[in-house]
Structures are given as structure tokens and as C-alpha cells.
């Protein structure tokens, strides 16, 4: 799949050869979708289908990204392809912003509209004793919980992510200055901070479930809390994987001071995840 | 119309660049924008037939009062899947297919910016289609709460709804990747000299459509994800007992759903903006104002969503705001309509099939726009909400708007794709047959709605019988017209007209796509042309 039979002359735009990876990826998603449907509806084959789909997806990710890396290292991507990558990564991050916007919107709607409405005079007949104070399980779920305080683990996590952004910038500057070992060092530190962030988040979830009685089923607070932080945690995981791939490539001698868009794309993504966390910290934990 | 008779051997498409894979794996692995564009179109037509069969099931049931053909549960599944399949399976992929084929040709690019991802955008659609069509055959059947997937019905439904949710996720991923590809192609792969304000209108409308898709598809994905967790993981986003709100789903859904209307309409506007100047033999009137009108429509589409929700108990101030904001969209839309009319004014117009479909579009889309204006009025909408008047309104926009312009695009660019002219007489029969059948189907639905017939109901009061019978007859006639359409297309592909298409088969046509031979060689503009 790697090298093209249309050698990319200067000024020509690189168009890849036919590739099996899109079809492999679609097959993976078909298995995963049926697997998710099956497992959620307690059908025996569901988990099998999910597992097979996930395995095919991993195969596709390794194969497809491997092909792209090979093409990149063969210098098949001209400056014009580089601009395409920059546009596309920017628009992809914009789409992720809108994905988070849906969940932030849900939290805003619940706090500003639906919870006050359920405790208003209009709802007194249905829920006479509902006070409608945030945080809440809603009027009909009787399972009191303690909300997650902002100044424990979440504050530490904020510091971790902000610092990781600094380390990542140090690594980037080192790469631009052609100081590879320094770039590798700071990138590894960045990933380490990301992993510690995730570990603390897992600890926080265990703490919420076992000590605070704060669960996904704790009404609208639990729903929005776990959806927003969980979706963010998933993005941190993806970002850390991206940075890890970049780290491995750095160690293998890929990239130079000018030619390293994979590094920059992963860095953009990491900073995006960082900014989302700041929004989460203020809106979910502090307010 | 300039065309070249068959006896002129005109195979200059087959130079040494025109090598393409011949193996059967080509359709799975191709990275060629022309292959992928054609695959999108065939997929779209297959979904169009599937959704059409569902529509005919609905119309067969509604031919007379009482329950004759389908059970009420199946009826609800048919209305739900008809909507989703037609929007996500038929209309959107058709225009993505045109974009794939035509944007590189119009912009002077060698291919789409990300040729391999382009293939994945397409190949995500068949799994989604398998999930959607397959959901009819699982216990409990397909999703049946309407294409808008409103809770609480969608939370209570069976596993068909889960299949719908994952199909929406997969189609959303396909749309986002396709849109990123289209935006990047337009922004970065234009030939030297092709400035933004020299781009064909079709490229402009797709640029703005792709922006709308990237901004709204993730929001829909978020909405259905919350549905999924409400269904299976005990969250209460849309459940008042847990402090949530079913109306919240409607807000999030329509934040996607209203821009979606323009995602469907804008590329159709782009097609019409190419065809009307060609057959009027005049440049498009008011090009810059067309660009600004398109952008205005896109921006306004984000701030009018609650006009779908007038009956949910919005505060009066909210109703007034959404009413006036909605009416505002009529201004840029009318700007477009008048520009098309001004383009035709004193042009030397000829009425080949693409132009006929555009004129049909112009007249019927304007009617759909007017009924939209009627529905934007809150007090009127409260009467007409969820009646057949709404059904008539959006079918004038979706069928006579988007679908007619898709037909126009196939007749207009088909010669470029296939190298053969279609048979003009058959094309004209297809147009008049579709136009009449369409109006017989949907015009009476205005009367039914005004008289109070609700949508999504398999049985109805006797007073609605006559117009329902007329509408059902029209629907079957419209369906058969589309079988006729595919016959015309296959005859075009196989060269049954005996008339080879010239590089520029329409003498009024402008643009880079007409500078390459017909059929367009497998690889075009590997070295970009220079635009003056």
C-alpha cells in the first residue's frame, strides 16, 4: 500500500494507491455496532461480535497509520499535502468541540431550565416536596449522594494537564531546535502526566461509587457528571495514544525540525483536550 | 446542444494516463474520486428505492380508511425508517456523489484532498444501511418513534432503536470525514488562479454545506449517545423523574435538524446555479450576492431551531424570537430565487431535461418556501403542527427541491460521466411524469393538513378519504417514474442513444469540467490547469 506508482514530482499532489484499510475499518465498525446492540440487549453473541470488531479495528489502525507513516517517511507528502493535513486536523478538532457542546448544552439545560422548572409552582402538584437545588438526583430518584469536590483530585488533575501542556511545548521547541533527546524526554514526561491524570480519574470514579454514592444512575447530576468527565477521559486516552505513537516515531528517528506535522497535530489535540478540561473544571466541578 | 455523432471515433479519453484497475477488488479499495462518486450515487439510488418502497407501503395503507395493508406497528416503523433512509441514505449521499465527481473537475484538482479517507467515507454507509434495513427483522422491529427519535418513545423502544442509534453514529462519522475532505479540497486544491470568488457556485454551496455538517453532525451524535445511555445505562438526560427533560432532546436534535435542512438544500441550490446559466446562455446573475446569500442562510440556520417546537410550551418571547428569525431566512432565499429568475431574463433559453428539472425545482421549491413561511407563524403552526400540511411542506422542499435538482444534475453531468448523451425524449417524459405525479401526491396533502389530518397515523376519519386516495395514486405513479429514470440512466451508460457526448455537450456551459473529454479520463488534472 505504501509507495505510490505515481511518483510525486514537485508540485504534484500525492494521491494514494488503492487501499484495503477503509473496508477493513468498515467491517470493524459493522461488527462493533452489532456487538454493542447485542451486548446491550443481553444476547449471547454480543460480546463476541464486539471483541472481533475491536480486534479488526486495531488491525486497521496499525495498518492504516503504518501506511501513512511509511508514505510520510518516504517524503511523498509535499508542502501542499501538509497544508491539507493542517486544515483537516483543525476541522476535526472543531467537530470534537461541537460533540462536547452537546453534552455541555445538556448540563446547561438541566441546571438552568429543567431542574428549576421541576421545582417551580407549575410542578408542585406532581412533585410537592422537590426543592430543585443543585446538585440533584431529580424529583423521583431517592438515592442521596455527595458531589465531587473541586479542590481535591480535580484541582490536582487541572494542574497536571496544564503542566503537561507546558512540557509538550518544551518538547516541540526542542524538536524545532533539532535536539532530539530533549524532545523525547519532555514528550515522555507529557505522556506520563497524562497517564497519571487518567489514573487519578479512575481513582476518583472508584471513590465516587464506593464512598460518595455518586453513580451514573444518580439522576441528572450523575448523568451529566459521568458523561462529561467520561467522554473527556476517553479523549485524554486517545490523545495520550497519539502522543505515544509520536514518541515511538521520535525514538525511531522520524521527523526533523521542519517536517513533523504528526507531532503538531497530536499537540493541537492535546491542547484541545486541555481546554475542554478547564471548561469541565469550572462548569462541572466548581459551579 | 452540441453533440458528436457515433461514427466519429472519439476515444481521446484513453490516453496513457487512463489506466485503471480492472480487478473486482476495485470497488472496495479504490482511491479515485470518480469511482467513489459513482459508488455514492449507486448507493443513493438503492436507498432511494428502499425508502420509496417504505413510502409506498405507507401510501398503500392510507389509500382508504381502516387498516388493510400493514399493522399499525409496522406503519410507524415505515414512517420512521422512510425519513431516515431518504435523508441520510438517499439525498445526502447523492449530493456527496456529485461533489466527489465534480469538485476536483471544477476546481482543477487531481483528486479529493484525502483520497483514501474518501473511500472510507463511502464504505461506512453500507454498514449503516445494513443496520437500518436489518432492524426491520429483529424482535420488536425497527425504530418506530418517528425519524426525529424523540424520547420517551425512543427510550422505550426495542433493539431496533439501538441499531438506529449506531447507524446514526456511523453515518455521522461518514459525513464528518466526507465534509472535512470536501472543505480541505476546496480550500487547498484549487488550481492556480482559481480564487474563492471565481469558484463555481456548486463548490461554494458545498463548502458551506460541509461546514454545516461538521458543526451539527457531532451534536446529533451527542444526542443519540444520551438516548443510548438513557436506554441502557440508567442515565436520566431525558427523564423528568431524574431531573432531566424530554424537551431537551428536541432542542439538541433540532440544533442539528434545522441546519440539516440546509445541508440538503444548499448543494441543490449549487446544482441549479450551474444549470440555469448554462441553458439561459448567460452568466449567473449576482454571483457575489449568491455567495453571501448562501452564507447567510447557513448562519441563520443555527438560530431558528425551535420553530420545530412551537407546541412544546416555549415562552411567548421565545416563540416570537424564533418566528421572526425564521422569517428572516426568506430574505436570502428570495435573493437566490430572484437571481435565478434574473439569470433567465432575456437569456436564449432552451429546455433540455436538466433545465426542465431546474424550472420545476424553482417553481415547486418556491411553493415549499411559501408554505414554510406560513408554518413559521407561531399561531398558525400551533394549528398545523404534526398535520399533513407539514408533510406536504417538507416534501415540496425535499422532493421537488433536493431530488429534482439531483435528477437535473444526473442529466446535466451524466454525459461527462458516461461519455454518452441520454435520450432527450425519455428525459422529458421522466420530467413531466415526475412533475405531475409529484403534485398529485403532495398537493392534496396541504388540504388534508388544513382539514386536520395528523401525520404518522395509519388510519383516519372518513372525511379525509378522497384526497388520500388521490395522493396514494400519485405516489405509485411517482414511484414508477423513478424505475423509468433508472432505465434512462442505464441506457445512457450503455450508449443506447447512439450519441456520444462532446467534451462540452452544452454550448452555454462554463467551467473546467468541460475542458476534459467525455467520459472524463480516470485521472484528470494531475498537473493543475491555470485559471485566468
Q: Which of A50, A114, A136 is most worth mutating to test chain B (most B CB atoms within 10 A of its CB)? A: A114
pLDDT of residue B15: 42
Answer yes or no: do A45 and A137 share one domain: no
> What percentage of chain A has pLDDT greater than the value 70?
96
Strand, coil or helix: B522: coil
| CA B234 from centre of chain | 36
* Single pTM value for the model: 0.95
Tell me which long-range contacts B56-60 makes (C-beta under 8 A, separation of at least 24): B56/B475, B56/B476, B56/B479, B58/B82, B59/B441, B59/B471, B59/B472, B59/B475, B59/B476, B60/B472
> What percentage of chain B has pLDDT greater than the value 90?
94
Q: In b/e form, how buried is each residue of A244-270, taking b as 16+ CB within 10 angstroms? A: bebbebbeeebbeeeebbbbbbbbbbb
User: Whats the size of chain B, residue-wise?
Assistant: 532
Q: Is A115 on the interface with B (CB under 8 A)?
A: yes
Answer yes or no: do A63 and A92 share one domain: no
Answer yes or no: do A139 and A272 share one domain: yes
Q: Is the pLDDT of residue B312 over 50?
A: yes
Give, in order, the Cα–Cα distances in Å from B501 to each of B93, B108, B390, B419. Answer: 26, 21, 42, 5
On whether the CB atoms of residues B501 and B418 are closer than 8 A, the answer is yes
* B14 band by pLDDT with thresholds 50, 70 and 90: very low
* B18 band by pLDDT with thresholds 50, 70 and 90: low
* B25 band by pLDDT with thresholds 50, 70 and 90: confident
Cell 442562510 sits at which residue? Answer: B297
* B7 band by pLDDT with thresholds 50, 70 and 90: very low
Answer yes or no: do A14 and A116 share one domain: no
Answer yes or no: do A42 and A180 share one domain: no
pLDDT (average), residues A99-125: 95
Q: Is the pLDDT of residue B177 over 80?
A: yes
Based on the structure, what is the number of domains in chain A? 2
Answer yes or no: do A17 and A112 share one domain: no
Q: Which residues pair with B387 in a beta bridge?
A: B454
Q: Which of B171, B213, B236, B524 is most worth mutating to test chain A (most A CB atoms within 10 A of its CB)? A: B236
On whether the CB atoms of residues B356 and B421 are closer than 8 A, the answer is no
Show residues of chain A in contact with B124, CB under 8 Å.
Answer: 25-26, 29
Q: How close A12 gets to chain B, by Cα (Å)?
A: 6
On whether the CB atoms of residues B290 and B426 are closer than 8 A, the answer is no
ipTM: 0.95
Instruction: Locate all alpha helices (DSSP H) within B419-464, ordered by sequence.
Output: 424-450
CATH of residue A157's domain is 1.20.120.80
Distance CA A249, CA A264 (A): 13
CA torsion sign for A63, A64, A68, A69 is: negative
Show residues of chain A in contact with B527, CB under 8 Å.
Answer: 11-12
Q: Is A201 on the interface with B (CB under 8 A)?
A: no
Q: How close A187 gets to chain B, by Cα (Å)?
A: 29
Answer yes or no: do A62 and A171 share one domain: no
Distance CA B385, CA B378 (A): 10
Answer yes or no: do A278 and A152 share one domain: yes
Which of A15, A102, A106 is facing B218, going by the closest CB pair? A102
* A3 band by pLDDT with thresholds 50, 70 and 90: very low
* A10 band by pLDDT with thresholds 50, 70 and 90: low
Distance CA A222, CA A104 (A): 14
Domain stops at, among A77, A97, A122: A77
Q: Where are the beta strands (DSSP E) in B310-442?
A: none
pLDDT of residue B19: 62
Give kind and range of the element (H or E) at residue B5. strand B3-5
pLDDT (average), residues B272-299: 97
A 228-287 residues inside an 8 A Cβ radius of B: none
CATH of residue A69's domain is 1.10.287.70
pLDDT of residue A287: 87
CA torsion sign for A122, A123, A125, A130 is: negative
On whether the CB atoms of residues A213 and A146 are closer than 8 A, the answer is yes
pLDDT of residue A11: 65
| Grid cell in block for residue B525 | 488534472
pLDDT (average), residues A136-148: 93
| CA B416 from centre of chain | 21
Q: By CB neighbour count within 10 A (0-12 exposed, 13-18 middle, 19+ buried), where does B9 fall?
A: exposed
What does the DSSP 8-state code read for residue B386?
T
Tens digits of residue pLDDT in B211-252: 999 999 999 999 999 999 999 999 999 999 999 999 999 999
Answer yes or no: do A94 and A104 share one domain: yes
Pairing of strands B3-5, B499-501: antiparallel
Strand, coil or helix: B264: helix
On whether the CB atoms of residues B86 and B48 are closer than 8 A, the answer is yes
Tens digits of residue pLDDT in B364-378: 999 999 999 999 999
Cell 392510507 sits at which residue? Answer: B62
What does the DSSP 8-state code read for residue B455?
S
pLDDT of residue B181: 98
Distance CA B301, CA B297 (A): 6
Q: Is A178 on the interface with B (CB under 8 A)?
A: no
Q: Where are the beta strands (DSSP E) in B381-507?
A: 499-501
Does the beta-carbon distance from B243 to A33 stay under 8 Å? no
Answer yes or no: do A211 and A277 share one domain: yes
pLDDT of residue B4: 44
Residue among A20, A19, A52 at smallest CA distance from A33: A52
Give kind and range of the element (H or E) at residue B4. strand B3-5
What average pLDDT does chain B have?
94
On whether the CB atoms of residues A165 and A146 are closer than 8 A, the answer is no
Distance CA B273, CA B204 (A): 10
* B10 band by pLDDT with thresholds 50, 70 and 90: very low
Show residues of chain A in contact with B226, CB under 8 Å.
Answer: 102-103, 106, 223, 227
Distance CA B32, CA B112 (A): 8
* B44 band by pLDDT with thresholds 50, 70 and 90: very high
What is the domain range of residue A5?
1-77
pLDDT of residue A4: 40
Domain stops at, among A77, A93, A122: A77
Tens digits of residue pLDDT in B430-475: 999 999 999 999 999 999 999 999 999 999 999 999 999 999 999 9
pLDDT of residue B63: 97
Residue B193: left if φ>0, alpha if ψ -120 to 50, beta else—which one?
A: left
Cell 452537546 sits at which residue? Answer: A102
Cell 379525509 sits at which residue? Answer: B464
Catalytic (active-site) positions of B: 82, 111, 147, 174-175, 258, 260, 262, 273, 307-308, 333, 336, 455
Q: Which residues pair with B501 in a beta bridge?
A: B3
Answer yes or no: do A108 and A131 share one domain: yes
Q: How close B261 gets to chain A, by Cα (Å)?
A: 18
Residue among A200, A207, A117 at smallest CA distance from A160: A200
Domain stops at, among A22, A49, A77: A77
- Range name among A4-13, B151-160, B260-269, B281-290 with the lowest pLDDT average: A4-13
What average pLDDT does chain A have?
94
Q: Is the pLDDT of residue A8 over 70?
A: no
pLDDT of residue B9: 38
Distance CA B503, CA B489 (A): 19
On whether the CB atoms of residues B505 and B2 are closer than 8 A, the answer is yes
Which of A6, A30, A83 is facing B188, going by the closest CB pair? A83
Q: Is the pLDDT of residue B5 over 60?
A: no
pLDDT (average), residues A167-184: 97
Answer yes or no: do A144 and A260 share one domain: yes
Q: In b/e form, how buried is each residue of A129-156, taking b as 16+ CB within 10 angstroms? A: ebebeebbbbbbbeeebebbeeeebbee
Q: Which of A102, A116, A129, A276 is most worth mutating to test chain B (most B CB atoms within 10 A of its CB)? A: A102
Show residues of chain A in contact with B522, CB under 8 Å.
Answer: none
Amino acid at each position: 500500500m505504501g509507495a505510490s506508482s505515481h511518483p510525486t514530482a514537485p508540485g504534484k499532489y500525492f494521491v494514494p494507491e488503492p487501499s484495503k484499510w477503509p473496508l477493513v475499518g468498515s467491517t470493524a465498525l459493522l461488527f462493533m455496532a452489532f456487538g454493542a446492540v447485542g451486548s446491550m440487549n443481553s444476547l449471547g453473541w454480543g460480546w463476541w461480535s464486539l471483541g472481533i470488531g475491536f480486534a479488526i479495528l486495531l488491525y486497521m489502525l496499525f495498518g492504516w497509520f503504518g501506511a501513512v507513516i511509511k508514505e510520510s517517511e518516504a517524503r511523498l507528502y509535499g508542502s501542499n499535502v501538509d497544508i491539507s493535513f493542517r486544515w483537516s486536523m483543525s476541522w476535526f478538532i472543531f467537530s470534537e468541540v461541537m460533540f462536547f457542546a452537546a453534552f455541555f448544552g445538556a448540563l446547561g439545560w438541566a441546571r438552568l431550565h429543567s431542574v428549576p422548572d421541576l421545582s417551580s409552582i407549575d410542578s408542585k402538584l406532581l412533585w410537592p416536596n422537590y426543592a430543585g437545588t443543585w446538585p440533584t438526583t431529580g424529583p423521583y430518584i431517592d438515592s442521596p449522594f455527595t458531589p465531587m469536590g473541586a479542590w481535591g483530585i480535580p484541582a490536582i488533575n487541572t494542574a497536571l494537564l496544564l503542566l503537561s501542556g507546558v512540557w509538550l511545548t518544551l518538547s516541540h521547541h526542542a524538536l524545532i531546535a533539532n535536539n532530539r533527546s530533549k524532545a523525547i524526554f519532555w514528550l515522555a514526561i507529557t505522556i506520563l502526566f497524562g497517564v497519571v491524570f487518567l489514573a487519578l480519574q479512575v481513582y476518583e470514579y472508584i471513590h465516587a461509587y464506593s464512598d460518595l454514592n455518586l453513580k451514573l444512575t444518580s439522576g441528572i447530576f450523575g448523568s451529566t457528571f459521568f458523561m462529561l468527565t467520561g467522554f473527556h477521559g476517553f479523549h485524554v486516552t486517545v490523545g495520550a495514544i497519539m502522543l505515544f505513537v509520536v514518541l515511538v516515531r521520535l525514538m525511531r528517528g522520524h521527523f526533523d525540525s521542519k517536517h513533523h506535522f504528526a507531532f503538531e497535530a497530536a499537540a493541537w489535540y492535546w491542547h484541545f483536550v486541555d481546554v475542554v478540561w478547564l471548561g469541565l473544571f469550572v462548569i462541572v466541578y466548581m459551579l | 446542444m452540441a453533440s458528436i455523432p457515433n461514427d466519429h471515433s472519439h476515444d481521446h479519453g484513453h490516453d496513457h494516463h487512463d489506466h485503471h484497475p480492472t480487478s473486482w477488488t476495485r470497488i472496495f479499495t479504490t482511491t479515485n474520486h470518480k469511482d467513489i462518486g459513482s459508488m455514492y450515487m449507486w448507493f443513493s439510488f438503492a436507498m432511494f428505492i428502499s425508502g420509496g418502497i417504505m413510502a409506498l407501503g405507507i401510501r398503500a395503507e392510507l389509500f382508504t380508511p381502516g387498516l388493510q395493508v400493514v399493522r399499525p406497528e409496522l406503519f410507524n416503523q415505515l414512517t420512521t425508517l422512510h425519513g431516515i433512509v431518504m435523508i441520510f441514505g438517499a439525498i445526502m449521499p447523492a449530493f456527496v456523489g456529485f461533489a466527489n465527481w465534480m469538485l476536483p473537475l471544477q476546481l482543477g484538482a487531481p483528486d479529493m484532498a484525502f483520497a483514501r479517507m474518501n473511500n472510507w467515507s463511502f464504505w461506512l454507509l453500507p454498514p449503516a444501511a445494513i443496520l437500518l434495513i436489518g432492524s426491520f427483522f429483529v424482535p420488536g422491529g425497527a425504530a418506530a418513534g418517528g425519524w426525529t427519535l424523540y424520547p420517551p418513545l425512543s427510550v422505550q423502544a426495542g433493539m431496533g432503536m439501538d441499531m438506529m442509534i449506531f447507524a446514526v453514529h456511523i453515518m455521522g462519522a461518514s459525513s464528518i470525514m466526507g465534509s472535512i475532505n470536501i472543505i480541505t479540497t476546496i480550500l487547498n486544491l484549487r488550481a492556480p488562479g482559481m480564487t474563492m470568488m471565481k469558484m463555481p457556485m456548486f463548490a461554494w454551496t458545498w463548502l458551506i454545506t460541509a461546514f454545516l455538517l461538521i458543526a451539527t453532525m457531532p451534536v446529533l451524535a451527542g444526542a443519540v449517545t444520551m438516548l443510548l445511555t438513557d436506554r441502557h445505562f440508567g442515565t436520566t438526560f431525558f427523564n423528568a423523574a431524574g431531573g432531566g427533560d424530554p424537551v431537551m432532546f428536541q432542542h439538541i436534535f433540532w440544533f442539528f435538524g434545522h441546519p440539516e435542512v440546509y445541508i440538503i438544500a444548499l448543494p441543490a441550490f449549487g446544482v441549479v446555479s450551474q444549470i440555469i446559466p448554462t441553458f439561459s446562455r448567460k452568466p449567473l446573475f449576482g454571483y457575489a450576492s449568491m455567495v453571501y446569500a448562501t452564507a447567510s442562510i447557513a448562519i441563520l440556520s443555527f438560530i431558528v431551531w425551535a420553530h420545530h417546537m412551537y407546541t412544546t410550551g416555549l415562552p411567548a418571547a421565545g416563540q416570537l424570537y424564533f418566528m421572526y428569525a425564521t422569517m428572516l431566512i426568506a430574505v436570502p432565499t428570495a435573493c437566490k430565487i430572484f437571481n435565478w429568475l434574473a439569470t433567465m431574463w432575456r437569456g436564449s433559453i432552451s429546455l433540455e431535461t436538466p433545465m426542465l428539472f431546474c424550472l420545476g425545482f424553482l417553481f415547486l421549491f418556491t411553493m415549499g418556501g411559501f408554505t414554510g413561511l406560513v408554518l413559521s407563524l407561531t399561531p398558525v403552526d400551533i394549528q398545523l403542527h404534526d398535520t399533513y400540511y407539514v408533510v406536504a411542506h417538507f416534501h415540496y422542499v425535499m422532493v421537488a427541491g433536493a431530488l429534482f435538482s439531483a435528477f437535473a444534475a444526473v442529466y446535466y453531468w451524466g454525459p461527462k460521466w458516461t461519455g454518452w448523451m441520454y435520450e432527450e425524449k425519455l428525459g422529458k417524459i421522466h420530467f413531466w411524469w415526475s412533475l405531475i405525479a409529484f403534485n398529485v401526491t403532495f398537493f392534496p396533502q396541504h388540504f388534508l393538513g388544513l382539514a386536520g389530518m395528523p401525520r404518522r397515523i395509519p388510519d383516519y376519519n372518513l372525511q379525509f378519504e378522497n384526497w388520500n386516495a388521490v395522493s396514494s395514486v400519485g405516489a405509485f405513479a411517482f414511484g414508477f417514474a423513478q424505475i423509468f429514470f433508472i432505465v434512462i440512466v442505464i441506457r445512457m451508460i450503455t450508449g443506447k442513444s447512439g450519441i456520444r457526448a462532446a467534451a462540452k455537450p452544452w454550448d452555454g456551459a462554463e467551467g473546467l469540467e468541460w475542458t476534459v473529454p467525455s467520459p472524463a479520463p480516470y485521472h484528470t488534472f494531475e498537473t493543475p490547469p491555470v485559471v485566468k
